[in-house]
Amino acid sequence: MARIVFIGAGSVVFTRQLVADLLSFPDLPELDLVLHDINPARLDVARGTAEQLAARTGRPLRITAAADRRTALHGADFVVNMIQVGGVDASRVDLELPNEFGLRQTIGDTTGIGGVFRALRTFPVLSGIARDMRAVCPEALFLNYTNPMAMNIWWLATVAPDLRAAGLCHSVFWTVHDLCALIGVPLEGTRFRAAGVNHQSWLYEWSRDGADLYPQLREKIAADPELERRVRVEIFRRIGYYPTETSEHSAEYLSWFLRSDEQIERFRLRPMQHLDTDRRNLAEFHAAQQALAEGRDLELEDAGAAEYAPQIIHSVVTGTEREIHVNVPNRGLISNLPEGAVVEVPATVDGSGIAPIAVGAIPVQGAVHNRTYLSVAELAVEAALTGSRELVLQAMLVDPNASSTLTPDRIAALVDQLFKVHQDLLPSTLGGGVELDLSDVPNRS
């Protein structure tokens, strides 16, 4: 019986979708699902959600809720990570405090000032998970959903290179899904591949019956001027390949969009938009909590098992072959991005596990932007390893959005303020309150 552990299972919407996707595979045998969260109320909702879905589908599912992480991980075959260290309160600070300095973000969870401080809060917890996995499930496959994806997988590859880990994101799938809908072509039967870095991969192949679909997209854009007010359409026009995350996310990764009121108006952006998402997620949690207490059915989205973690579990357990996209260290996968950096590439998955596909060189005009993104990530990882706050500042001086908006002095003042506010959640190497044991890091004492 495959043992699957959800870490951060209190992410109520995500847990619901993952469990629903797992139960949608009729050929999966009974699974052993273990739910872990540090918040007891959220853990109760996660357990009630899983129990209701199993009952509604009539599928066998062994369900356990465990407050202790190492107990939860014992004997795991798959570990699905979806934690948010500091919760919505810390994420709100990552948006609101920079905004007070004049630095605007829309989401703040992937790169830039918000992404870096989210990563620094997450690194100690990832190290703790790695220690627990080495002790009780060293052969388990670690499947990460937690952002910032590239930084988190890079950190894990640095402190625990012996563990099998991959980062998963649905942005490639939903990008192609939405583009197909835009040009009126069914998703089924299309062939697509993207490569680059998470949230900034480039759709380098998108075809149907051997015919490239990009010309149809260009015709659609030319016929509708309003489409040119989308961030991703502007990136597509300038780069020549479509990026694989929403316009709201993508606006933060370049210097082109959030630097002025005029650009924000032109591209219909809403700074601090993610605060609305946090409020909706909190409302969804309370709604699910109440529905379970009253014995009502939870609302389900029929996404057709679109999430990658259930697909991977299904493939490994049943031997079914499929192709997905994963985030892993660059070991000869993309020739014009730094070796060892975390990249997003296609991968095959079957009973033997995940096999990333070497794609060679990606379009150079996309790779140059990926390198800037990866430079921010590299500096953040190195900052935590060495205890250098100066490297955190230098990461922000590299970041396109921050460096196009604020002077170095203002960036330095903002970084200092964020260190103060997040003090209790940051690693001890950076003077924070969370112990960070680096004794297992290769070539480090």
Query: What is the tens place of the pLDDT at every residue in 82-123?
Result: 999 999 999 999 999 999 999 999 999 999 999 999 999 999
Task: Burial-class residue 421 by CB neighbours within 10 Å (0-12, 13-18, 19+).
Answer: middle
So what's the pLDDT on residue 12? 86
Spatial distance between the Cα atoms of 194 and 178, rounded to a whole number of angstroms:
15
What is the mean pLDDT of the segment spanning 154-172? Answer: 97
- Domains, the chain, with CATH or none: 3-167 (3.40.50.720)
User: Distance between CA atoms of 4 and 79, rounded to whole angstroms?
Assistant: 6
pLDDT digits (tens, 9 = 90+) for 56-75: 999 999 999 999 999 999 99
> How is 80-122 classified by DSSP, letter by letter?
EE---TTHHHHHHHHHHHHHHHT---SS-SSSHHHHHHHHHHH
Residue 273's Cβ-count burial label (10 Å; 0-12, 13-18, 19+) is: middle
Cis geometry, peptide bond prior to residue 148 (ω within 30 degrees of 0): yes
Mean pLDDT of the chain: 96
Contact in structure between 122 and 85 (CB atoms under 8 Å)? yes
Q: Write down the catalytic residue from 36, 170, 249, 274.
A: 170
Q: What's the pLDDT score for residue 115? A: 98
For the packed helices 389-398 and 112-136, what is the interaxial angle rounded to 10 degrees?
Answer: 130
- Within a 10 A sphere around the Cβ of 423, how many other Cβ atoms? 13
What is the spatial distance between Cα 150 and Cα 142, in angstroms, rounded to a whole number?
A: 15
Name the band, by pLDDT with cuts 50, 70 and 90, for residue 133: very high
Is 369 noted as a catalytic residue in this protein? Answer: no
Long-range contacts of 179-183 (CB under 8 A, 24+ apart): 179/203, 179/206, 179/213, 179/217, 179/242, 180/213, 182/217, 182/220, 183/213, 183/216, 183/217, 183/220
And the tokens for 338? 């730094």
Number of other residues whose CB lies within 10 A of the CB of residue 331: 12
pLDDT at 394: 98
Residue 73 has a CB neighbour count (10 Å cut-off) of: 22
Tell whether the model's pLDDT for residue 4 goes beyond 90.
Answer: yes
Asked if residue 445 has pLDDT above 60, the reply is no
Q: Backbone phi, then psi, for 349, in 5-degree steps?
A: -140, 135
361 confidence band (pLDDT: 50, 70, 90): very high
Query: Model pTM?
Result: 0.97
